Chains A and B, each alone.
Chain A
């Protein structure tokens, strides 16, 4: 296992030469939070303002955790589709309600990007969560669309995926739309 800094180094080794990389990061469940934090710090330090799309943990839970871990919350806005709340917006967070459809999520991402003009990277946590209520083919198609849009908008991005015993085909498919695939265990 490796620390957050190790994850950042691994990403850097693969994409430092790219101006606006889009990365697929496969994180071991044993050190999931560390892996996500490593990626977030890397993108945050390199690009500045970021959009954290969370399907996994409520923004209210993430904020204090990230702050304690040394991430500056002033450089992050959130799109939260896990908190069980009606659709609403604050200055730094857009709540979509739980597990919205992929079409709704796509539109919400583009709205957030156009509203938050300073956003320079997007972190998607996580692709695996989408598999709870969607088929792998649809999830891959969604990621393809988002990766294409990120390139069009000139924004960097990281899709996070938790390593599972199944779904490797989908990961392989998504990695084709990305500039790099980083596996936090094998360093492959």
Chain B
């Protein structure tokens, strides 16, 4: 990866990152039981929409042409021919409703023991097209957008489940020291091909000041987040940030308000500022009494 000179070189990502995302989505919505399929269907529709936004399928493509383009894209990443593509409603909107099971193919099912084999054991590493990972991230996020800002709670939960998956499969080494744990996490994402090794986080001041992340060649920020913003979606779903926030919350109790500032700089550099939130009560009894008096 050292010779890579631009985001265009980040064409594939380690499959473990995608498996973690699928696991996060599955576990994050598990409490809804079988009804979660409604949300998964919605996500599947937005996944195909993302492929259209990126030009992987054309605006006037016939169903056959769409099937072929998506089939080829998936085949290049080693997925089978039984693509769960459906054309729904009067507009025949293409969707991938069964994406979880299909993309978990050969992994024993997401969440299955076979799929969560210990990563320390020798397991052939596979890579998948970055566009598929982008498609999943966009679909997952936009599919929850109908719920408004509160959907961030579901996304945060998915981040925690992604972390659980990556720790349990040995991809990220756990540490009781949050700095070391976050460092291990960033090393994993650099190795997986999510970002350049020069990416990192630094703290500016102390809470409630900010955590500044510099991402170099992060396709999430440059592609997915841009498309989400264009679609008026204010949710934030960068996996390393979600996982980092989960580590911080677990070890220090600090919460994270994602992306209070975002700068896109030349050279595919992204500087993002997250605000840290203290774990103390935000509305104490004393404050409530004072406010009550002011309210009349």
CB<8 Å pairs between A and B, sample of 6: A30-B32, A56-B150, A106-B292, A107-B295, A133-B282, A141-B285
Chain B binding site: helix, strand, loop or mixed by DSSP? helix
Which chain A residues in 88-103 approach chain B with CB under 8 Å? 99, 101-103
Q: Which residues of B contact A138 (CB under 8 A)?
A: 281-284
Q: Which residue of A lies closest to B260 (CB)?
A: A98
Chain B residues near A7 (CB, 8 Å)? none
Say yes or no for B277: interface residue by CB 8 A criterion.
Answer: yes
CA of A128 to CA of B32, assembled, Å = 16
Residues of B within 8 A of A134 (CB): 282-283
Name which of B146, B148, B281 has the most chain A CB atoms within 10 A of its CB: B148
Of listed A99, A138, A139, residue having the most chain B CB within 10 A = A138
Choose from B31, B151, B154, B295 the contact partner of A106 (Cβ within 8 Å). B295
Contact B287 A55 (CB under 8 A): no
Within B119-175, the residues touching A (CB, 8 Å) are 146-154, 156-157
Bound-complex Cα distance A99 to B257 (A): 10
How many chain B residues touch A (CB < 8 A): the figure is 37
Q: Please give the number of chain A residues whose Cβ is less than 8 angstroms from any Cβ of chain B in the complex.
A: 42
A29 at the interface (CB under 8 A from B): yes
Docked Cα-Cα span, A17 to B295, in Å, equals: 29
Please report the C-alpha to C-alpha distance between residue A110 and residue B293 in the assembled complex, in whole angstroms.
Answer: 11
A149, CB-defined interface residue at 8 Å: yes
Distance, CA A141 to CA B282, complexed state (A):
10
Q: Are A135 and B149 in contact (CB under 8 A)?
A: no
Besides A28-B32, A137-B281, 5 other A-B contacts (C-beta < 8 A): A30-B32, A56-B148, A57-B149, A131-B153, A135-B281
Q: How far is the CA of A57 from the CA of B150 in the complex (A)?
A: 9
- Provided the pairs A149-B292, A149-B295 are in contact, do residues A133 and B277 lie with their beta carbons within 8 angstroms? yes
